[in-house]
Amino acid sequence: MTTGELPTAQEQAGDLPESLRETLSGHYYTDPEIFRLEQEHIFEAGWFCAVLSADLAKPGQFETVQIGRESVLVTRGRNGAIKAFLNVCRHRGARLCTEEKGEVRRSFQCPYHAWTYSFDGALIAAPNLGAMEDIDRTQYGLHQVHVREWLGYVWLCLAEEPPSFEDTVIGDVSARLGTPDAIVGYQVADLKLGRRIEYDVKANWKQIVENFMECYHCATIHPELTEVLPEFADGLAAQYFVGHGAEFGEDVQGFTVDGSEGLEKLPGVSEEQDRRYYAITVRPQVFINLVPDHVVFHRMFPLTAERTLVRCDWLYLPDVVDSGTDIDRSVELFHRVNQQDFDACERCQLAMDSRAYADGGVLVPSEHHISEFHDWVRERIG
C-alpha cells in the first residue's frame, strides 16, 4: 500500500485487534440491487408488522401497506377477521386502492373496469360477468396474504409458505427477554394508542436497526435518556444482555423526559420488571420498548435504499387515553431519543458511498452482537 491509499478490507481484517469486528461495507446501505434483494428475500419472505389492529375497528376499514415491492390491502371482514390481499385487480392489474387508508361500505371496486370484490377477496361483480359462466369467482378473487395478529398488531407474510411465526417473531422476543412469557404482563394487545409520530428518515433501514441495538452512542447523543437510565452512559445497551432490563436511576420517578412521576403501572408488570426498561428488536422492522406504565412500538417501512419511514406508537392503558390524562412528558422522552437517533443515522448514511467506508467500519465489544444481524442479512440475500 502506497502513501495516501486506504487499506483494503483484507489488510484491515489482518490488522484488527480482538476488540474490533468488521461491519458491512458501505455499498450495503446504498446499492439499489442489494435493496432489491432485501425486498425479495427479507421483507417479502418473512413476517412484516403492518397495521395496528385497532386502526381497523370496523368491517370495511382498510389500510394499504408497502411491503418490499408489493402494495398490500389490509381490511376487516364482516365476521371481524382481518384479511389482507395484494392490492392488484385480477382483471388488468390496476391498483385497487390508491389511498393510504379509508373505509368502504360494501365492497372494493376497481376504478378502471369496475371489477368488484368482497371484504373476503372474492370476485362478486363485474360488467357482463353473468354472461361469463365459466369464470370461477373464487379463483379470480384477490391474491390473499398470510395474516397473524399478535400484540395488538397485524403481521403479514407474502411468502407462499410462511416461516414459523413462533420461531421468528416470537423467537426474537424470547431470545431478548429469555422467555416469551416475559412480555405477557405488559398486556400489549389490550393497550390503547395514545400518540403516533411518523419519521421520514433519510437513511437505510439497517442503519436504524444497528442504532437501536447498541448504546455505545447513548452518552454522546442521549442526555435525557441517560439521566433516566444511568447505566446506558456506560455504553452497554439492554439488548446486549439476555433478560436484562436497564434500571431507572435512584432519583428517577418515571420514564419521562424530566424523570418526573409517570402513570399508573400496568397491572401485569412484575416486581422484577418494575422501574426497568426493556428494548427488543424483532427482525426485520420492529422495535418494542417496555416500561412499567406504557409501551413504545416502532414499525419501519423501508422505501428505498436510502429512505425509511418509521411509525412510532405510544400505547397506554385505555383509562389513561380515554380520560385525557397528560402523556406529553412520557411521549417527549422517546420522541427526543428518536430524533437524536435518526439524525445520527442520516449522518452515517451521508458517508456510505465514501471511499473511506468502501470496506466498512468496525464494531467495539459492546457492539459485537450487531455482527449477528449482519450475518442474518448476508445469509438471506446471498
What is d(CA 303, CA 43) in angstroms, rounded to the nearest whole number? 11
Please name the CATH architecture into which domain 47-157 falls.
3-layer Sandwich (2.102)
Share of the chain above pLDDT 90, in %: 89
* Third-level CATH fold of 168-381: Naphthalene 1,2-dioxygenase Alpha Subunit; Chain A, domain 1 (3.90.380)
Mean pLDDT in residue range 146-174: 98
Residue 84, helix vs strand vs coil: strand
* Residue 329 contacts residue 6 (beta carbons within 8 Å): no
What is d(CA 300, CA 309) in angstroms, rounded to the nearest whole number? 6
pLDDT of 12 > 90? The answer is no
* Residue 283 contacts residue 376 (beta carbons within 8 Å): yes
pLDDT of residue 330: 97
pLDDT of residue 5: 52
What is d(CA 318, CA 332) in angstroms, rounded to the nearest whole number? 20
pLDDT of 51 > 80? The answer is yes
Q: For residue range 73-97, what is the model confidence (pLDDT) as tens digits?
A: 999 999 999 999 999 999 999 999 9
| Mean per-residue pLDDT over the chain, rounded | 94
Q: For residue range 207-230, what is the model confidence (pLDDT) as tens digits?
A: 999 999 999 999 999 999 999 999
**Of the candidate ranges 64-78, 136-150, 297-311, the one whose mean pLDDT is the lowest:** 136-150
Mean pLDDT in residue range 137-154: 94
pLDDT of residue 14: 58
- Radius of gyration, alpha carbons of the chain: 23
Kindly state the cell numbers that stand for 332.
417527549
Mean pLDDT in residue range 114-123: 95
Query: Range(s) for CATH 3.90.380.10 in the chain?
Result: 168-381
pLDDT of 152 > 50? The answer is yes
What is d(CA 188, CA 170) in angstroms, rounded to the nearest whole number? 14
Which helix (H) or strand (E) element contains residue 124? strand 123-125
What is d(CA 171, CA 189) in angstroms, rounded to the nearest whole number? 18
Q: For residue range 242-256, what is the model confidence (pLDDT) as tens digits?
A: 999 999 999 999 999
Helices 205-213 and 328-349: crossing angle in degrees, nearest 10, is: 120
pLDDT of 2 > 80? The answer is no
What is d(CA 20, CA 23) in angstroms, rounded to the nearest whole number? 10
pLDDT band at 3 (very low <50, low <70, confident <90, very high): very low
pTM over 0.85: yes
End-to-end CA distance of the chain: 31
Query: Range(s) for CATH 2.102.10.10 in the chain?
Result: 47-157
* Residue 236 contacts residue 246 (beta carbons within 8 Å): no
Kindly state the cell numbers that stand for 74.
389490509
pLDDT of residue 139: 84
